[in-house]
C-alpha cells in the first residue's frame, strides 16, 4: 500500500518568513495530493490540493509543488503569520474521492 | 450548510465497555470515511462507505471494530470490549461522490479508554 513520509515534524519560523514542508510517497498510482491544516482540537481543513497532471498550484500565500518522477511534493507558505501556526498534514490518494494516506504531520510555529 | 458533525465530542470508557460513535455527513454526500488519529500522528484509514455499501474495511484494526451506514446517511462506528490502545481521535469525512471530490472532515470524537 501507499506510504507517505513528511518532514520536518516541527518547524519554527519568524513572522514574515517562509515555511516549507516536504512529503514523499511510495505508490506511483497516487494522483491526488491534498494538504490539511489542523488546529488544536479542531477538524482538519483542506488548504490546497494538487492533482498529478500539474506541477505547481498557488493560492495567495500558499503554493504546492509536485515532482512525480521523484515522488515528492511540498507545501510553501510565504509571509507567514501567527495564525498560520497549526499542524499541517500532507496526504496522497489514487483519486480525490478515495481513501487518503496521511503523513505524520508538521507542527508549524510562527513567532511574532 | 452544516459541515460534518460528530458526536459525542469526548468519550471516556472503562476497558471492556462497548462504545458507539456517530457521524452525520454533509447532506447529499455519497461517500463517507472513518479515520483513526493517535496522539501526535496523522489520521489512518479505517473504513469507507458509498451510500449504504461498505466498500472497504481493510483499515479496521480488529473484529472488535464495526461500522454501519444503514440508510446511506448517518454512520456509526462501534468498538466492542474497548482496550487502552483504542484511545485516539476518531475522524469522519464525507465527499460528494467517489472520483474527483475532496473530503470534508468532522471535528472528531476523542475516545479515552481507562
What phi and psi, each to the nearest 5 degrees, are found at residue B112? -120, 120
Look at residue A54 in the predicted model and tell me its pLDDT. Answer: 84
Q: Which sign, positive or negative, has the C-alpha torsion A39, B94, B44, A20?
A: negative
Bridge partners, residue A102, by sequence: A91
Look at residue B78 in the predicted model and tell me its pLDDT. Answer: 98
State whether A99 and B4 contact (CB < 8 Å): no
State whether B105 and A99 contact (CB < 8 Å): no
**Per-residue pLDDT reduced to its tens digit, A25-67:** 999 999 999 999 999 989 999 999 999 888 999 999 999 999 9
Residue B59 buriedness (CB in 10 A; 0-12 / 13-18 / 19+)? middle
State whether B105 and A97 contact (CB < 8 Å): no
Distance from CA of B93 to the nearest CA of A (A): 10
Cβ neighbours for B43, distance < 8 A, ≥ 6 positions apart = A44, A89, A100, A102, B35, B36, B37, B91
Residue B34 buriedness (CB in 10 A; 0-12 / 13-18 / 19+)? buried
Distance from CA of A16 to the nearest CA of B (A): 27
Strand stretches in B51-100, DSSP E = 53-56, 65-68, 75-79, 88-95
Q: Which residues of A touch B99 (CB under 8 A)?
A: 95-97
Mean pLDDT of chain A: 94
Q: What angle do CA A98, A57, A36 make, to 5 degrees?
A: 50
Task: Quickly count: other Cβ atoms within 10 Å of residue A70's Cβ.
Answer: 8
State whether B42 and A105 contact (CB < 8 Å): yes
Look at residue B1 in the predicted model and tell me its pLDDT. Answer: 54
**Per-residue pLDDT reduced to its tens digit, A15-24:** 999 999 999 9
* Residue in B closest to A39 by C-alpha: B107
A71 — pLDDT class (breaks 50, 70, 90): very high
Q: Which residues of B touch A36 (CB under 8 A)?
A: 105
Chain A contact residues (CB < 8 Å to B): 4, 6, 34, 36, 41-46, 49, 89, 91, 95-105
Nine-digit cell at B80? Answer: 466492542
CA distance A68 to B103: 22
What phi and psi, each to the nearest 5 degrees, are found at residue B85? -70, -5
Tell me the pLDDT of chain B (114 aa) as tens digits. Answer: 579 999 999 999 999 999 999 999 999 999 999 999 999 999 999 999 999 999 999 999 999 999 999 999 999 999 999 999 999 999 999 998 766 678 999 999 999 999
Look at residue A57 in the predicted model and tell me its pLDDT. Answer: 93
Look at residue B63 in the predicted model and tell me its pLDDT. Answer: 95
Q: Which residues of A touch B49 (CB under 8 A)?
A: none
Amino acid at each position: 500500500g501507499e506510504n507517505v513520509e513528511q518532514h520536518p515534524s516541527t518547524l519554527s519560523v519568524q513572522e514574515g518568513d517562509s515555511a516549507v514542508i516536504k512529503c514523499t510517497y511510495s505508490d506511483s498510482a497516487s494522483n491526488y495530493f491534498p494538504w490539511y491544516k489542523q488546529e488544536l482540537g479542531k477538524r482538519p481543513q483542506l488548504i490546497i490540493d494538487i492533482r498529478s497532471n500539474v506541477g505547481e498550484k498557488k493560492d495567495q500565500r500558499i503554493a504546492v509543488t509536485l515532482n512525480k518522477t521523484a515522488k515528492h511534493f511540498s507545501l510553501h507558505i510565504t509571509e507567514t503569520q501567527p495564525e498560520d501556526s497549526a499542524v499541517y498534514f500532507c496526504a496522497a490518494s489514487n483519486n480525490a474521492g478515495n481513501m487518503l494516506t496521511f503523513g505524520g504531520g508538521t507542527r508549524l510555529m510562527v513567532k511574532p | 450548510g452544516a459541515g460534518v458533525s460528530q458526536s459525542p465530542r469526548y468519550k471516556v470508557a472503562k476497558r471492556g465497555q462497548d462504545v458507539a460513535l456517530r457521524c452525520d455527513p454533509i447532506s447529499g454526500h455519497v461517500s463517507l470515511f472513518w479515520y483513526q488519529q493517535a496522539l501526535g500522528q496523522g489520521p489512518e484509514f479505517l473504513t469507507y462507505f458509498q451510500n449504504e455499501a461498505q466498500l472497504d474495511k481493510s483499515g479496521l484494526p480488529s473484529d472488535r471494530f464495526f461500522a454501519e451506514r444503514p440508510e446511506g446517511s448517518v454512520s456509526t462506528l462501534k468498538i466492542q470490549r474497548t482496550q487502552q490502545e483504542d484511545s485516539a481521535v476518531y475522524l469522519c469525512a464525507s465527499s460528494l461522490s467517489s472520483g474527483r471530490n475532496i473530503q470534508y472532515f468532522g471535528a472528531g470524537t476523542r475516545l479515552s479508554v481507562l
